[in-house]
Structure 1
Amino acid sequence: MSSPSVSFVQIRFDDIHFFENCGGGSFGSVYRAKWVSRDKEVAVKKLLKIENEAEILSVLSHRNIIQFYGAIVEAPNYGIVTEYASGGSLYDYLSSEESEEMDIGQIMTWAAEIARGMHYLHSEAPVKVIHRDLKSRNVVLTADKILKICDFGASKFLTHTTHMSLVGTFPWMAPEVIQSLPVSETCDTFSYGVVLWEMLTREIPFHGLEGLQVAWLVVERTVAGL
């Protein structure tokens, strides 16, 4: 089964007024901006070209998935336009003093919100999607503290277990991805577990180690546990 034939709103580059850079996503920088004709605050990820991300986002609709508005397709000004989450990333929140007041109830609520978003991608979306880069930097907070999964630059439609190129971020990357083995939605499940670790400890596993050191430890500990 192939990916669905989809279309999305094409937004003019001159209809976007850019403000400050608010972070980096897969393959591009993210800016807070205003969609002038709609008088709407948005986030825009500037890209070198439009690939799968717009196609994937265009078929997704869920409370815990970032809302997609359209794409800028005027060369060389390519971009993905989504809702703006003013609370910043979960990573930034967990690094802040405010997170010291986070109790187990808040952790459970947020864990459930991320899980609902991932369940939608894997089981309820029109076509199954593997995110492939789930991490606290790719989960954002709305003004009312609702969590939303964002940045689908590394994501793929998936209708069967398959080999995929090495993509993701250490230490959120699953061992089967590191080893270039066939992968399924379980690679996102591994990444979700790391995000839970972050929320519970307010730390990142393997802190201070380089990427390849982390990769070796993840694979070795997985094999040792079999």
Structure 2
Amino acid sequence: MIELQNVTLRYGEREILNNVSLTIEDNKIKAVLGPSGVGKSTILKLILGLIKPNSGKILIDGVDITHMKESQLYPIRRKMGIVFQGNALFDSMTISENLGFFLRENLKLSENETERKVQEQIVFAGLEGYEDSLPENLSGGMKKRVAIGRALIFNPKMILFDEPTAGLDPVSSKKILNLIGQLRKKNDLGAVMVTHIIDDVFMVADSVAVLYKGQIIFDDDISNLHNSEHPFIRSILSDKILEQ
């Protein structure tokens, strides 16, 4: 569904990505692994068309979005859901209102249909009984589950996760990863998961691209990661977690 072709991105003199190529398939979970500041989240912004590369192409379902105007990007973005690292929930809205907000703003659905979709995500995210709670009254893991439910509510083909377990305790992290793993089975979805935690990659991803100094130094099935002789990959396999 998503393809980056020879993408280079610079901010002034600083090169963030150097000739990066990446393919993300439908109904697969792709992890992008690397330390903070290496450009992982930048890849998500490029996929959404929020920033433009200096060179190279970005294709979504075979359509080149590299030079699209903002008005042209809306139907492209509708194919994808995004779960931000900080969740980006509306603090003054209840969980149900957070989940239904974008439906009410963007689609001409009946209130019954909107409520049905909201309840469907409440159940999927395991948030029954918290429909009328405000985000401030939820744990970090529960907020993340609300964010996942909101990303799913438009029935996208692909979900983009930016550091989905960052700052969560081990129990909450496991619940979030289990939820991500269910997406492919229950919703026939693909996902891109940006992370610095290698154990998360092994738990849910089908394949992993390792980003190091602006370049992809590994891009293959998870099972082949242990075969890499690259010094950086050998070091992260032993350390398990990269510097945040």
TM-score after normalising by structure 1? 0.25
Name whichever structure is richer in helix by fraction. Answer: 2
Structure of greater relative contact order (alpha carbons < 8 Å, 6+ residues apart): 2
